[in-house]
Amino acid sequence: MAKAIIDGGADLEIAGGSVGTPLDNAIGYGCWNVARLLVSRGARVDKLWHAAALGMHDRLTGLLAASPPSARVA
């Protein structure tokens, strides 16, 4: 179903879902195949929790380098 919706021209960055964007929703609800499909079709992975949840270590490192945490977590 997700593939058909995406192929039909769905906006991959539209906000307003129950969690937020389609990628927020897919990750938030543990729909890993949909999350990976969204990323493969161009959804932006621009949040730390997106990169971490999807195991995208290089992207996570890049995001951390661009915006290091302001406080140390013990």
- Would you call 3 helix, strand, or coil by DSSP? helix
Q: Where are the domains of the chain?
A: 2-66
Q: What is the pLDDT along the chain (74 residues), one digit of tens a residue?
A: 999 999 999 999 999 988 899 999 999 999 999 999 999 999 999 999 999 999 999 999 999 999 876 776 65
Give dist(CA 43, CA 73) in Å, integer: 29
Q: List the structure tokens of 34.
A: 């949909």
Q: Which amino acid appears at position 61 of this protein?
A: T
